[in-house]
Amino acid sequence: MIASNASTPCNNVPLDTDAFVPSVHWAEHQRIPSQQGGFRRLYDGELMYVYSGSMAVEFQDTEQRLVYHAGDLLVLPPAVRHRTIVLPPGPAHLLGIHFDLYDELDLEIVGDMVVVEANVCSDYFCRWPVLPDGSPAFSRCYRSIPKPIASWMEELQLEQKIQRPGYQTASQGYMQLILTALLRLQQDMNRSIAPAYQSALLKLVEQWHQNLHLPYTNTAMAHRLNISEDYYIRLFKLQFDKSPQQYLMHIRHQAAKRYLRETDYKIEQIGALIGYDDLHNFSHAFKKWQGVSPRAYRNMFQIV
C-alpha cells in the first residue's frame, strides 16, 4: 500500500450486476443525538436507513445538501467526502450497513472503513458502478423506500449480529436483493420522470416534512408544478410508489409517533403540529393508522 494525500480516486466501473459479489463489513442500529460530524471518506460503501428523526448530508463533490427523514435511504459511495448532521430535536434512529460490491476489502478492524487522511491507502478504495453515460448507477437518496428493502436490511443486521452458521452467505443474499431492488427503482425513475420534475417533487416533499401542519391539496401542488392534477399524481406515484395523500399521511403518522414517544407535548398539540386542528379527528386518524389511540401508544413507551 502507498500512502498518499491525492484527491478522490476514480474507481468507477461499468455497471455489471452479474459481477456483484457483495461483502458486508458492518451492520448495526444507531441512535444518535442532534450533532454535526466532520467531513470524512470511506473505503467502502454504506447504506443508511432512517427509522426516525432526520439527518442532513453534505457532499464536497456537489453543492446539493440532502435531507433524509423517516423511511428514506442514503446510499453512500466510496471515496466521497461527506458530513452527516443529525437535525434537532433528535435523536435519529438509523440502521447502517457498510459493504463493498466486489468482495474487495478484507477488514481486520471496523474502524479501517474510514479514511485516515494523513495516511490514505489508495489501493483500498472499492469500485463503484456507473451507467454508460458515466452517471452513478445508484442514487444517493431514495425517498420512502418500499418495506421489503427495509426488512432485508433488518434481517441482514440480525445475521451479522448473531453470526449463525452460513451468516456470510445469507448476508450476501440479502445484499443482492437490496441492490437489485434499488437498481430497479433507479431505472424506473430515470425512464419515467424528467430530472426537472424529479427535483421539483423532492423539493415539494422536503417542504412537507418541514411544515406538516399546512394543507397540501393535489390541486394546489399541481398548480405549483404548473401541470395537471392527474399528471401530478401520476408523476408522484412513479417517484415515491405512493399517491401524494398516501405519502403525506405516512410522514404525518411517523412524525406523530415520534412526538408521542419523545416529547411531553399534549396530544392535541401534536395533532396540530401535523395538520389536525381537531383532537377528535387526529385521534380517529391515529387509531386507524396504528390500531391504538395516541394516549395508548404513548403509554407503551412510558418508563415505569
The pLDDT score that the predictor gives to residue 88 is: 85
Q: Are residues 28 and 81 in the same domain?
A: yes
**Nearest C-alpha neighbor of 35 from the set 51, 14, 56:** 56
**For residue 199, what pLDDT is reported?**
84
Are 86 and 92 in contact, with CB atoms under 8 Å apart?
Answer: yes
Q: Same structural domain for residues 171 and 99?
A: yes
Query: Of the residues 192, 207, 237, which one is the last residue of a structural domain?
Result: 192
At residue 146, the pLDDT reads 86
Same domain, 143 and 40: yes
* 201 and 186 belong to one structural domain: no
Alpha-carbon gap, residue 25 to 44, rounded angstroms: 9
Query: Nearest-CA neighbor of 186 among 104, 244, 129?
Result: 129
Alpha-carbon span 62 to 82, nearest angstrom: 10
pLDDT at 176: 96
Local structure of 225: helix, strand or coil: helix
Indicate the residue among 140, 169, 192 that finishes a domain: 192
Question: Could you tell me if 187 and 240 lie in one domain?
Answer: no
pLDDT at 195: 75
Residues 72 and 146 both lie in one domain: yes
Angle at 236 (CA atoms; ends 150, 203), nearest 5 degrees: 85
The CATH number for 110's domain is 2.60.120.10
Please give the pLDDT value at position 301.
Answer: 79
Same domain as 188, residue 164? yes
Do both 170 and 52 map to the same domain?
A: yes
pLDDT of amino acid 85: 93
Same domain (yes/no): 93, 159: yes
Q: Which domain holds residue 19?
A: 3-192
**pLDDT in the model for residue 213:** 92
Along the 304 residues of the chain, how does pLDDT read in single tens digits?
A: 223 333 455 689 999 999 999 999 999 999 998 888 789 999 999 999 999 889 999 999 887 789 998 889 999 999 999 999 999 887 899 999 999 999 998 876 666 899 999 999 888 999 999 988 888 899 999 988 888 999 999 999 999 999 999 999 999 999 999 999 999 887 766 665 677 788 889 889 989 988 999 999 999 999 999 888 888 998 888 888 789 999 999 999 989 998 998 899 999 999 999 999 889 999 999 998 899 999 999 988 775 4
Closest CA to 203 of 225, 226, 231: 225
Between CA 184 and CA 188 the distance in angstroms is: 6
Q: With 0.85 as the threshold, say if the pTM is over it.
A: no
Domains identified in the chain, total number: 2
Residue 9, exposed/middle/buried by CB under 10 A (0-12, 13-18, 19+)? middle
Q: What's the one-letter identity of residue 273?
A: L
Predicted confidence at residue 7, as pLDDT, reads 44
Following DSSP, what letter does each residue of 254-270 receive, concatenated? HHHHHHHHH----HHHH
What pLDDT is stored for residue 108 in this prediction? 66
* pLDDT value at residue 188: 67
The radius of gyration computed from the CA coordinates of the chain, to the nearest angstrom, equals: 21
> Residues 34-54, buried b or exposed e (16+ Cβ, 10 A)?
eeeeeeebbbbbbbbbbbbbb
**Domain boundary, last residue among 170, 192, 214:** 192
Task: Identify the H or E element spanning 25.
Answer: strand 23-32
Q: Which of 77, 15, 13 is nearest to 45 (CA)?
A: 77
Q: Do 11 and 136 share a domain, yes or no?
A: yes
Grid coordinates of 238: 412513479
- Quote the pLDDT of residue 189: 62
Cβ neighbour number for residue 3 with a 10 Å cutoff? 10
What's residue 275's pLDDT? 93
Is the domain of 225 the same as that of 274?
Answer: yes
Write the CATH number for 244: 1.10.10.60
Q: Strand pairing of 3-4 and 120-121?
A: antiparallel
* pLDDT for the residue 175: 97
- Whether 214 and 130 share a structural domain: no
